[in-house]
Amino acid sequence: MTVDPNVFLAILAMAAATMLTRIGGLLLIRFVTIGPQQRRALEAIPPAVLMAVIAPTALVTGPAETLAVLATALAAMRLPLLAAVATGVFVVAVARAMIGT
Amino acid sequence: MNRMDVVQEFSGGVKVMASLIVAVMPIGLVFGAVAASKGLSSLEVTLMSAFVFAGGSQFVAMDIWSHPVSWGALGFSALLVNIRHVLMSASIGTKMPAFSGPAKYAAMLLLADEIWAMAETRAAQARLSPAWYAGLAVPFYFVWVLTSLAGSVAGAFLGNPKAIGLDFAFPAVFVVLLMGFWKGRETGAVLAASAGAAVLTHQLLPGVWYIAAGAAAGVVATLVIDRRREAYA
């Protein structure tokens, strides 16, 4: 159980950078007035970020991942979150075994 | 708000977060195991998860980990990976009238993707209270830190998480959350723009610029739709 001073410094740098991004949005909305158009733009952010995070997995990683993303999306229409996630994990494992990664 | 309400709101937050808490466990374990394989001690792994608390950037850090470590490169990459938090905190920040000034900033220190998404979901249906937010964030935080530690100790025993599809738990959670934001054709345009920009950027640029590009494209799509609507009105 040791902590290398260089590693500790790196962890602090990562923590400071991350903290800055977390506080940044609050500072932003203090200095920018939010009208109806700005509000609509802000409302587009959540789905746009989520889509961007999963897009490479969904579209260009491989057929197994694309299939599993589709299966998860379909399952999400009917099932609660954990069941839909389990469906996705199951489908990706089976698809990778069958068609390779 | 009386004490009963606070308890009820807190456990309400914990309840909706329960499945995500389960989903993050394998991710924490995998992170700890990967970090241990890069030569980090269990204490270092725990400190990183406790101070940074941002899975995506921690995995990227392990990708670019070197000996000796370069704090500048790691800090900069964390900034890039987490730049999406600026948009998230700007978005959720407008939905926190129940929070005092300091409470708002304190809450933002624990802003992770999953917590933010559940907070947005709550804010769309009801008033987001500090107690509800704490229910979302606090247990999730401790599970992340503890499973990272457990993963670093267990290390080699875990085997390859990819073989049983566990690495897919994280994107699967995002797919489910994304389905909840569907509001009709306009959302379709935002998603198409975001997906297109993200994939293109992902193929062309190294690192995690694709997340920023997708978010920006989604916002631009909304603005274009807005302008058109005004032109026809």
**In chain B, positions 17-76, which contact chain A (CB-CB < 8 Å)?**
18-20, 22-23, 40-44, 47-48, 51-54, 57-58, 61, 68-72, 74-76
Percent share of chain B, pLDDT over 70: 94
| 3-state secondary structure (DSSP) of residue B59 | helix
Residues B192, B217 within the same domain: yes
Residues B35, B59 within the same domain: yes
Q: Is residue B175 part of a domain?
A: no
Cβ count near A94 (within 10 Å): 15
Please enumerate in sequence order all residues whose Cβ is within 8 A of that of B174, keeping only pairs 6 or more positions apart, or say none: A50, A53, A54, B113, B117
Q: Would an 8 Å CB–CB cutoff place A61 in contact with chain B?
A: no
Confidence at residue B159, expressed as pLDDT on a 0 to 100 scale: 60
pLDDT digits (tens, 9 = 90+) for B55-89: 878 887 887 787 788 888 888 878 877 878 888 89
How many Å apart are CA B152 and CA B32, to the nearest integer?
4
Residues A55, A97 within the same domain: yes
How many Å apart are CA B230 and CA B175, to the nearest integer?
32
To the nearest whole Å, the CA of A29 is away from the closest chain B CA by: 6
Q: Is the ipTM of this complex over 0.90?
A: no
How many Å apart are CA B92 and CA B137, to the nearest integer?
14
Chain A / chain B CB contacts < 8 angstroms:
286
pLDDT digits (tens, 9 = 90+) for A36-92: 887 788 778 778 888 988 899 999 999 999 999 999 999 999 998 778 888 998 999
* Average model confidence (pLDDT) across chain B: 88
Q: How confident is the model at residue A101 (pLDDT cuts 50, 70, 90)?
A: low
User: Which chain A residues are Cβ-neighbours of B148 within 8 angstroms?
Assistant: none
Q: Is residue B204 part of a domain?
A: yes
Residues B220, B133 within the same domain: no
Confidence at residue B118, expressed as pLDDT on a 0 to 100 scale: 94
Q: How confident is the model at residue B1 (pLDDT cuts 50, 70, 90)?
A: low
Residues B115, B53 within the same domain: yes
Confidence at residue B169, expressed as pLDDT on a 0 to 100 scale: 75
Residues of the domain holding A71: 35-101
Which of B174, B191, B199, B224 to probe by mutation at the A interface, max A CB count within 10 Å? B174
Q: Is residue B113 part of a domain?
A: yes
Residue B61 phi, psi (nearest 5): -60, -40
Residues A24, A8 within the same domain: yes
Residues B87, B191 within the same domain: no
In terms of pLDDT, which residue wins out, A1 or B12?
B12
Give the end of a domain, one of B116, B144, B169: B169
In terms of pLDDT, which residue wins out, B13 or A99?
B13
Q: Which of A50-59, B28-37, B95-104 is least confident?
A: B28-37
In terms of pLDDT, which residue wins out, A25 or B63?
A25
Residues B64, B27 within the same domain: yes
Residues A11, A56 within the same domain: no
Residues A52, A21 within the same domain: no
Is the model's pLDDT at B38 over the cut of 90?
A: no
Residues B50, B114 within the same domain: yes
Number of domains in chain A: 2
Residues B161, B223 within the same domain: no
Confidence at residue A36, expressed as pLDDT on a 0 to 100 scale: 80
User: Which chain A residues are Cβ-neighbours of B30 within 8 angstroms?
Assistant: none
Q: Is residue B99 part of a domain?
A: yes
Residues A93, A48 within the same domain: yes
Residues of the domain holding B229: 182-233
Contact B85, A22 (CB under 8 A): yes
In terms of pLDDT, which residue wins out, B60 or A25?
A25
Number of domains in chain B: 2
User: Using the beta-carbon criterion (under 8 Å), do B88 and A8 form an inter-chain contact?
Assistant: no
pLDDT digits (tens, 9 = 90+) for B118-166: 999 999 999 999 999 999 999 999 999 999 999 999 875 656 666 667 7
**Residue range B160-184: average pLDDT?**
78
Residues B71, B129 within the same domain: yes
Amino acid at B136: L
